[in-house]
Amino acid sequence: MSAFWLLDFVLLALLVASAGVVVWLRNLNGAVMALSAVGVLLTVLFVALGAPDVAHSEVVVGAIALPVLYLVAIGKARTDVTDEEDLGERGEGRRVRR
């Protein structure tokens, strides 16, 4: 087992852990951050597996575009959903009025 497979295995373990964090977190904003971490780790994995073009599109889509889409959707849903329990934001530091 060479060091390349060690890199592969560490990346896979982190990928599965980040996916577990996405499922486990109740806070929607935190889950979006974990999804972005999944995109970043998948990018390194694609480079290690010899697919730099796929890694290009994955870093743009998985690490930036997809979280921004989710954040826009959460922000638009927040204006309509009054129940904060629903968005999983009970323990968050909410916006300070000033």
Partner 1 sequence: MRLAFVVLLLAVGLAFSLSGAVGVLRMPDVYTRAQCATKTVTLGTLSVLVALVVGEGPVSNYGGRALIVAVLILVMSPAASHALLRAAYRTGVPMWRGSVVDEPRRMREEQESGR
Partner 2 sequence: MTYAYLVAAVAEIAIAAVLVVRLALGPSISDRIVALNVVSTQAMLAVLLFAAYADRTVYLDVALWLASFSYLGTIVWSRYLERGLL
Partner 3 sequence: MIVVNYLAAAAVFCLGLYAVLTRRNIIKMVMGLSLMEASTYLFVVSVAYRARSTAPVLLNPQDGKTPAELAKGDVADPVLQNFCLTAIVIGVALTAVFLAVAVRVAQHYRTLDADKVRAMRG
Which residues contribute to the site for partner 1 (CB under 8 A)? 93-96
Residue 27: CA count within 13 A, CB half-sphere = 11
Interface positions, 2-41, toward partner 2 (CB under 8 A): 3-4, 6-7, 10-11, 13-14, 17-18, 21, 24-25, 27, 29-30, 33-34, 36-37, 40-41
Between residues 85 and 96, which has the closer beta carbon with respect to partner 2? 96
Distance, in Å, from the CA atom of 16 to the CA atom of 59, rounded to the nearest integer, reads 18
Between residues 17 and 98, which has the closer beta carbon with respect to partner 3? 17
In the complex, what is the shortest distance from the CB of residue 56 to partner 3, in angstroms, rounded to a whole number? Answer: 9
What would you report as the CA-atom Rg of the chain, rounded to the nearest whole angstrom?
17
The answer to whether the beta carbons of residues 55 and 39 sit under 8 Å apart is: no
